[in-house]
Amino acid sequence: MQTASVVPMPIPGHIDPVPVPRALVPRSDGRIDLLGLSKMDLRMALETSQLDPKQAKLRAKQLWHWIYNRGVTEFSKMTDISKTMQPWLEQRFVISRPDVVEAQVSTDGTRKWLLRSDDGQDYEMVFIPDADRGTLCVSSQVGCTLNCRFCHTGTMRLVRNLTPGEIVGQVMLARDALGEWPSQPDGRMLTNIVMMGMGEPLYNFDSVRDGLKIIMDGDGIALSKRRITLSTSGVVPMMARAGAEIGVNLAVSLHAVTKEVRDEIVPLNRKYGIEELLQACADYPGANNARRITFEYVMLKDKNDSDNDARELVRLLRHYDLPAKVNLIPFNPWPGAPYECSEPGRIKAFSKIIFESGISAPTRTPRGRDIDAACGQLKTASEKKSRAELDKLAEEKQAALG
């Protein structure tokens, strides 16, 4: 008796060669938000509102310039659009910004914003200024579906994915605050973007991809893909798509070199193990010595910081022939955290072993700790739970991972 062969399940998000406009969902006030729409969707929004196709094509080009090159949010300030057309646009559309619930500035100059969406959801973004660059840490989800044990954001429930407009809106708001309009390639304060805020970007792939494409578009913000880094905890099936469809730099939250430890602190490892993850890194499109993959490694006292851990990290990177840089991150404490930060001398010894093998391993200087803006500290103050609730949430998330 013959048995039917089982067809493997396709990776979510099958690539359709025919572009399909995104469904336009009105805001609570009935207007369509133009922020975050692709060029095609922007034109379709105008056509759907009964604008002649030829007219819609022209107006879409003008609107794109005003929104992403000039940073304008009011139709009345778009001087090349007729005064009779401006009220028509105002009635039907809006160019939004996230509502700012709270803005904080650290003693080291780091800025953190608590933002609120049109449907009342809170999320955070952080701007980190340095002498030679300014980096915006962008969120991709409200909450997080993972439960990395050292990460404060991981103690939150996943509420929902952010839309392309909400992802782009963080960049727009930061540029508003920094006075960086009109857009220009030189003299920017905001020079880099890292998708390292709240959430796992590859579990919100379509919105992250579509938002970053707008940010990289040469007719608007025009930030180079070499200036953008996407960080993942290791959603292996989506990594190749990220390289092919977005093409930005890759950072991987590794944090451990053994199955036992990584299973504990990054539970996603139970689904996609270290070897599978590192092979996906080796296959990542565009990775080379000029565009190295960054491996994030949080330093946890007596957990993952021994000399043997450092040597095993070197062995793994060499085994998979990875063009790699290791970022050592001193653990940033938060109330109820189950770990402590490694001692400075231990971090230095760990770094030395990796450096002596020929792999760069700088120690990241903690920024914004006094306003809970440092790596692993992002969590909206609106959500506070007891230790028992956090443990129950951890069990639920781990059960969901299988």
Which of 208, 205, 143 minimizes the C-alpha distance to 170?
A: 208
Whether 383 is a known active-site residue: answer no
Select which of 47, 102, 124, 396 is catalytic. Answer: 124
DSSP state of 334: -
Which of 133, 137, 228, 229 minimizes the C-alpha distance to 189?
A: 133
Which of 260, 88, 183, 348 minimizes the C-alpha distance to 269?
A: 260
Select which of 275, 375, 395, 396 is catalytic. Answer: 375
DSSP assignment string, 77-113: G-TTS-TTHHHHHHHHEE----EEEEEEE-TTS-EEE
In degrees and rounded to multiples of 5, residue 160 shows phi and psi of -170, 165
| Alpha-carbon gap, residue 274 to 80, rounded angstroms | 55
Q: What angle do CA 253, 207, 119 make, to 5 degrees?
A: 105
| Alpha-carbon gap, residue 247 to 289, rounded angstroms | 16
Whether 281 is a known active-site residue: answer no
Region label for 324, one of left (φ > 0), alpha (ψ between -120 and 50) or beta (otherwise): beta
| Alpha-carbon gap, residue 34 to 51, rounded angstroms | 15
DSSP assignment string, 200-226: -GGGGHHHHHHHHHHHH-TTTT---GG
**102 Cβ contact list (under 8 Å, min separation 6):** 113, 114, 381
In degrees and rounded to multiples of 5, residue 123 shows phi and psi of -155, 170
Q: What residues are annotated to the active site?
A: 124, 375
